[in-house]
Amino acid sequence: MDDYNGKIIDVHKFPSPNPNVELKQITYLSNGLKVKGLLAEPRRELVSDGFLYLRGGIKNVGKVRPSRIAQFAQEGFVVFAPFYRGNQGGEGHEDFAGNDRMDAFSAFLLLKSMPNLKNIHIFGFSRGGVMALFTGIEFHEAASVVTWGGVSDMTLTYMERNDLRRMMKRVIGGTPGKVPEQYKARTPLYELEKLAVPVLIIHGAHDQNVSVEHSYRLERRLKSLHKRVESWYFEEYTHYFPPKINRKIVQDLTKWMKNQSLK
């Protein structure tokens, strides 16, 4: 990787929806590209845990929400959420967990370089689940990986989501039948032997955006490799959880993360 990956080159204050959390828009380097992201820090609390938030979607679908980032920071984390290349003024082009995974890797290095942060946790939502798993595979020193409603198999995503097929063929280079190696390269299930960090899987059983089968496959593969994995399945929910339940799960998963830091 480029020695300059994760280097911060510009910082701007960003309006915060939470009086207890300070937000900044960061420009950082990722393989020579200037990529942007959002940093959230608790105002009156010195914390030792970093939280890499990896969003789902692509381009304007699934954009980083300041309120969501602040919600995790409120639980006692320094949170950084990359927008991924080509978004919100950043250079380059997203390619759906191809080369743009470097933006996640560089963001991990950014958090790792921050003073006082001893543990860096990785969280991925939806498509961000793939990004989180690849980042956990890349950095054995990560404290934990959490995937919520996360993709684990890119070919399965193509099969399930008719509405995404045109975009996936354009960005990835074709169908799974035409360029199977490109879909395999974007599927972390094939590289989990290299994963050394504990994993928490969260999924709604009625998820129509990312089927729960993604998590079942991930859990089975991790268990077959004797990796550390815990799964929380919610039979009554979809891709999006009711606000009250969502807040409770945020508290529970951040508590789980901090417990991993103590081990």
Q: Residue 2 corresponds to which tokens in the numbers above?
A: 């480029």
pLDDT value for 109: 98
Q: Could you report the per-residue pLDDT of 126-135, keeping only the tens digit for each?
A: 999 999 999 9
- Could you tell me the residue range of the domain that residue 157 belongs to? 8-262
How confident is the prediction for the chain on average, in pLDDT? 97
Q: Are strands 8-14 and 119-125 parallel, antiparallel or unpaired?
A: unpaired
Q: Does residue 70 lie in a domain region? A: yes
pLDDT at 153 over 90: yes
**From the CB of residue 117, how many other CB atoms can be counted at a distance below 10 Å?**
16
Q: Does residue 2 lie in a domain region? A: no
Q: Does residue 18 lie in a domain region? A: yes
Determine the residue type at 163.
Answer: D
Where residue 144 falls (left for φ over 0; alpha for ψ -120 to 50; beta otherwise) is beta
Q: Residue 11 corresponds to which tokens in the numbers above?
A: 């910082």
Distance between CA atoms of 202 and 232, rounded to whole angstroms?
Answer: 5
pLDDT value for 177: 98
Place of tokens 């989180």: 132
Q: Could you report the per-residue pLDDT of 60-103, keeping only the tens digit for each?
A: 889 999 999 999 999 999 999 999 999 999 999 999 999 999 99
Distance between CA atoms of 42 and 141, rounded to whole angstroms?
Answer: 24
Nearest-10 crossing angle of helices 128-138, 101-112: 60
Query: What total number of domains does the chain contain?
Result: 1
Q: Does residue 153 lie in a domain region? A: yes
Q: Does residue 3 lie in a domain region? A: no
Residue 199 sits at φ, ψ, to 5 deg, of: -125, 135
Q: What is the pTM of this model?
A: 0.97
Q: Does residue 143 lie in a domain region? A: yes
Q: Does residue 16 lie in a domain region? A: yes
Active site residues per annotation: 126, 239
pLDDT at 263 over 90: no
Which strand ranges, in their side-by-side order, compose the sheet holding 21-30? 8-14, 21-30, 33-42, 78-82, 49-54, 119-125, 144-148, 199-204, 229-234
pLDDT value for 34: 98
Q: Does residue 1 lie in a domain region? A: no
* CA-wise closest residue to 108 among 90, 117, 120, 123: 120
| CATH for 178 | 3.40.50.1820
Helix (H, G, I), strand (E, B) or coil at 65: coil
* CA-wise closest residue to 204 among 140, 158, 157, 249: 249
Q: Residue 32 corresponds to which tokens in the numbers above?
A: 């020579």
Percentage, residues of the chain above pLDDT 70: 100
